[in-house]
Amino acid sequence: MLIRFHLFIKHVTRTTLFFFLRLPQLNIIYKNDIFLKIRRITFLFFFLLPLHLLATPSSEDAFLRDAEIEDVLKSYITPLFEAAHLNPASLHLYIINSQEVNAFAMLGGRIAINAGLLLKATSALQVIGVLAHETAHIADGHIIRGVDAYEKALLQGLLGTIGGVAAGLAGSPEAAIAILLGTQDMAEKGLLKFSRTQESSADQGAARYLDKLGFSSRGLLEFMTILHKEDPLLEQSLDPYTLTHPLHSERIDFFRTHLTRSPHAESTLPPHFEENFKRIQVKIAAFTQNPDKTLSHFKTKDLSLLARYGRAIAYSQNSQLDESLHEIDSLLKEFPQDAFFWDLKGQVLFESGKLKESAKAYEQAVKLRPDIPLLRVNWAQALIESGDPANLEKAFSELLRAKTEEQDNPFTHRLLAIYYGKKEKTGLAALSLAEMSLEIGDLKTAEQQAKRGLHFLKDDAPNYSRAKDILQEVKRLKELQ
């Protein structure tokens, strides 16, 4: 199910900033206050660049969460992480609802990929190539190095400013301006050069990991070629020294050269890789574009799996729920063991108000793929919303398991708050709302609910302690803002 965080969008900027501020602090201590300020400015600026990309999607929704899409992308990334000697369990994947073609890596094993890139790519191999590039950024420590590089640039600019001010005070305004502009230009060019070097290094790392897995880097060559062909004249008007990335033509030359000596240049992926990629591509398109566009593309006479899947989603988006269920049932008749078809059926039934039937569909999805926490959350929501008190404890059990396996899903905390509210456990409901608010970056609500939790949890030592921890975390994060 695609979960759209409508209620959370106003907090997106702060949310994404939390992905980094909540990481263990860097073990660097500055005795001089000016250097502490530089570190703080660096930390905010360096990370707010990718965070801005996270926070400015092309439509009202920032993040897309879907069990199938995440499962497929993780199946691509897991072997890449292993090839790079990274722990796959450390992966945090974010799918951004933006039509821009982009992906980026962040601290803590975090990779974000835009829906636009997934729609632009024409094969699984291309997406795997992009993910290999982002994996290389993480494995080679480029994010931390980027912090250091920006600090140096900021310090260089600061020293230039001091020198310029001194020259101005000495009665030489022309010299002051020259010093200011010169140092800023040097700092900017140095940072851009560093960025281009890191991007080239990530391309090399991607090629190395793909070779290690026996995959071809042809996908990256193809994807770079697609981007280059979209505006072949653009590079002629660009100054390569003002770019954060090498020119597309330079990257194309690198992968062409690599393929001439790679033993896996002509290797192909197993068939199911392409099949799964086409499925999630159809799914993303059907959920994010006008339903009429999907229906015009997949005519009713087309009985292929992809056509029926696309129409099922488009019909549901168009409030044609009976038609949607008809398509889904035809898929389930042919593929009864497909958890994600059951997941879609659960969503459509839920949206049509058939909550008991929805819960049964979600239950079947969980039985088929018990390893996916998001399916459990979907099932728990249907059980809670069904209004049957007998379903509450089962929902609670599923939410606790989902929370254990995926601790940072704010929707899980929200559903737990609803459960505790129904059970008249006010303190635990407040604590769950505090957890949710902390995850989405709403510090004010997190503080309010944690304090409320403290009032009601005085006799519950573990949860009382957790409420205090949240207040301490809120205090620390406020100081960093």
What does the pLDDT average to over 394-399? 97
Number of domains making up the chain: 1
What does the pLDDT average to over 403-420? 94
Q: Say what the pLDDT of residue 165 is.
A: 42
Q: Per the domain annotation, does 11 fall within a domain?
A: yes
Instruction: Please report how the helices 248-261 and 218-230 are oriented relative to each other, as an axis angle in degrees rounded to 10.
Output: 160
381 vs 243, which has greater pLDDT? 381
Q: Per the domain annotation, does 293 fall within a domain?
A: no
Q: Give the global pTM.
A: 0.78
Q: Per the domain annotation, does 385 fall within a domain?
A: no
Express each pLDDT in 298-308 by its tens digit.
999 999 999 99
Q: Which long-range contacts (CB under 8 A, 24 or more apart) does 157-164 make?
A: 157/183, 157/184, 157/187, 158/34, 158/38, 159/183, 160/184, 160/186, 160/187
Range of the domain at 231: 3-261
Q: Per the domain annotation, does 166 fall within a domain?
A: yes
Q: Say what the pLDDT of residue 195 is.
A: 55
Q: Is the pLDDT of residue 467 over 50?
A: yes
**Identity at 211, one-letter amino acid code:** D
Determine what percent of the chain is predicted with pLDDT higher than 70: 72
Express each pLDDT in 205-250 by its tens digit.
999 999 999 999 999 999 989 887 876 545 555 544 444 455 667 8
Q: Per the domain annotation, does 63 fall within a domain?
A: yes
358 vs 59, which has greater pLDDT? 358
Q: Per the domain annotation, does 25 fall within a domain?
A: yes
E runs forming strands in 47-175: 63-65, 92-96, 103-106, 110-114
102 vs 372, which has greater pLDDT? 372
Q: Per the domain annotation, does 368 fall within a domain?
A: no
Q: Per the domain annotation, does 395 fall within a domain?
A: no
d(CA 443, CA 392): 29
